[in-house]
Amino acid sequence: MLQIDKHAEEKALTLVLTGRLDTTTAPELESVVKENTAGVEKLEFDCSKLEYISSAGLRVLLASQKIMNKQGSMVVRNISEEIREIFDVTGFSDILTIE
């Protein structure tokens, strides 16, 4: 299960992810990103409550990064050690801005 909380402020959008981002829940996040990024110049994913991410979840983050490369910036914040390890092993820590 994945809960997505949206916080929009002017041209910034923060998505707080809670739970698991996997094959089942990735399409939901993809839809939220596509429906809410028009005019957004700063996209932030708050992953402080994200428990797990699969390759499907990584794909959504990569697609989000490609969208934001054209219109602004994207950052992934507050990842756990387990998720940081997944990012490191897959090379995503070199692709994404992680704070």
Number of domains in the chain: 1
In a domain, 77, yes or no: yes
In a domain, 86, yes or no: yes
- Percentage of the chain exceeding pLDDT 70: 100
In a domain, 51, yes or no: yes
Provide the pLDDT for residue 84: 96
What is the dihedral sign for C-alpha 94, 98, 42, 18?
positive
The CATH number of whichever domain residue 83 belongs to comes to 3.30.750.24
In a domain, 99, yes or no: no
Q: Which domain holds residue 71?
A: 2-94
Provide the pLDDT for residue 62: 97
Residue with tokens 């992934």: 76
Could you read off the pLDDT of 1-18 as tens digits, one per residue?
A: 999 999 999 999 999 999
In a domain, 45, yes or no: yes
Could you read off the pLDDT of 67-93 as tens digits, one per residue?
A: 999 999 999 999 999 999 999 999 999
Residue with tokens 């050690």: 81
In a domain, 84, yes or no: yes
